Amino acid sequence: MCNVMPELPEVETIRMFLNEVLMGKKVQQVRHLDSRMVKKGHVSSEEISRRLPGHMVKSLKRRGKFLFLEWDTREHLLLHLGMSGRLLWVFEDEPWAVHTHMILDFGGHHLRLIDPRRFGRIGWIEKGEELLPHLGIEPLSRKLTARELARRLEGRTAPIKSLLLNQSIVAGLGNIYVDESLFRARILPHRAGGSLSEQDTKRLVRAIHTVLKEAIIHGGTSFSDYVDALGHPGKNQDYLQIYGRNITHCPVCTKPVVSQVIQGRTAHFCQYCQR
Ligand SMILES: [Zn+2]
């Protein structure tokens, strides 16, 4: 199970908790902001550290796998957890973990970004600027309908697995939830996106909704790195049906689960139940 990164349910779990905790709190100081984590072309780490102190958190938003801390200035601090990033809410006297790349000091408590592999990113969105307009549909919004997904898949010859991983089509899905959604919709991952029937697309949209909502209820999936903002792992790994090192046989027909690399990403599926 390589390449497991926080996907929509994990990021949403962190968002829901931190939104409650941070709303209305004022940041006193930005410490230890690692300039290598800041996205190219964005405001520099020094500038972020200079701008934020004294400002209040208005809300914490999410688009796909990205988080946005909205400030009272209507500016946003963008956070992406990459492969191994953790966003932890801790007491200020908690010893610093190695690989701490940003500390927002709220007085008494810190919000710390810890990322051993450093694939995460920090960015800055100016007032009035759109939040990542290139991102695809938000899968839990009303905008993801069977008709809209069919429109986006029409004529596409790439495998449905790869198209669902493409963040500009649907935002927030990664390896785990794509495999789970395709299994529940009974669609083979290597089928061309454009070959899906109306019924297939309907089942797929329903499956995506169910899989993501269940994962959020279970606090996300933890195979190795992922923990929530208090450092607790999620429980959704116990509820997955096709993705996971302990899942060797299909829970429906009991035939062995197939693992196959499709355009660089491993897909887990049942060749009997999925068509
Ligand atoms: Zn099966």
The CATH number of residue 154's host domain is: 1.10.8.50
pLDDT-derived band at 5 (thresholds 50, 70, 90) equals: confident
Same domain, 86 and 150: no
Range in 32-41, 45-54, 186-195, 197-206 with the lowest mean pLDDT: 32-41
Q: Indicate whether 94 and 157 sit together in one domain.
A: no
97 & 196 share domain: no
Q: Is residue 135 part of a domain?
A: no
Is the pLDDT assigned to residue 2 strictly greater than 90?
no
**Mean pLDDT to the nearest integer, 177-191:** 98
Residue 255 and residue 182 in one domain: yes
Residue 106 lies in a domain: yes
How remote is the CA of residue 269 from the centroid of ligand 1, in Å? Answer: 8
Same domain? For 157 and 121 the reply is: no
Question: What is the sign of the dihedral through the CA atoms of 209, 221, 178 and 172?
Answer: positive
Tell how far the Cα of 253 is from the centroid of ligand 1, in angstroms: 4
Strand order through the sheet with 76-80: 57-63, 66-71, 76-80, 121-125
Would you call 265 a catalytic residue per the annotation? Answer: yes
Task: Give the distance (Å) from ligand 1 centre to CA of residue 272.
Answer: 5
**Which ranges constitute the DSSP H helices of the chain?**
8-22, 45-51, 146-153, 160-165, 175-184, 198-217
| 137 within domain boundaries | no
**pLDDT tens digits, 35-70:** 999 999 899 999 999 999 999 999 999 999 999 999
Q: Any catalytic annotation for residue 7?
A: yes
Which tens digit of pLDDT belongs to each residue from 224-249? 789 999 999 999 999 999 998 889 99
Q: How does residue 3 score in pLDDT terms, banded at 50, 70 and 90?
A: low
Answer with the one of 125, 158, 184 that is the final residue of a domain.
125
Say yes or no: 29 and 119 in one domain. yes
Number of domains in the chain: 2
Q: Is 133 a catalytic residue?
A: no
In the chain, % of residues over pLDDT 70: 99
Whether residue 4 is predicted with pLDDT greater than 90 in this model: the reply is no
For residues 106 and 163, membership in a common domain is answered with: no
The verdict on whether 6 is a catalytic residue reads yes
Tens of pLDDT, residue by residue over 106-146, are 999 999 999 999 999 999 999 999 999 999 999 999 999 99
Q: How remote is the CA of residue 271 from the centroid of ligand 1, in Å?
A: 7
Instruction: Give the residue-averaged pLDDT of 95-111.
Output: 96
Q: Say what the pLDDT of residue 1 is.
A: 46
Domain contains 134: no
Q: Are residues 165 and 216 in the same domain?
A: yes
Domain boundary among 125, 159, 183: 125
User: 31 and 118 share a domain?
Assistant: yes
The whole-number average pLDDT for the span 159-187 is 98
Query: Is residue 114 located within the same domain as residue 52?
Result: yes
DSSP 110-172: EEEEE-TT---EEEEE-TT--S-TT--B-TTSTT--HHHHHHHHTT--SBHHHHHH-TTTBSS
- Look at residue 26 and tell me whether its pLDDT is greater than 60: yes
pTM to 2 decimal places? 0.96
CB atoms within 10 A of CB 148: 15
**From 63, 65, 161, 203, the catalytic residue:** 65
Query: Comparing 246 with 8, which gets the higher pLDDT?
Result: 8
Q: Looking at the structure, do residues 263 and 156 belong to the same domain, yes or no?
A: yes
Q: Mean pLDDT of all residues in the chain? A: 96
**pLDDT > 60? residue 104:** yes
Q: Are residues 171 and 223 in the same domain?
A: yes
- Structural domain that includes position 176: 146-269
- Residue 132 located in a structural domain: no
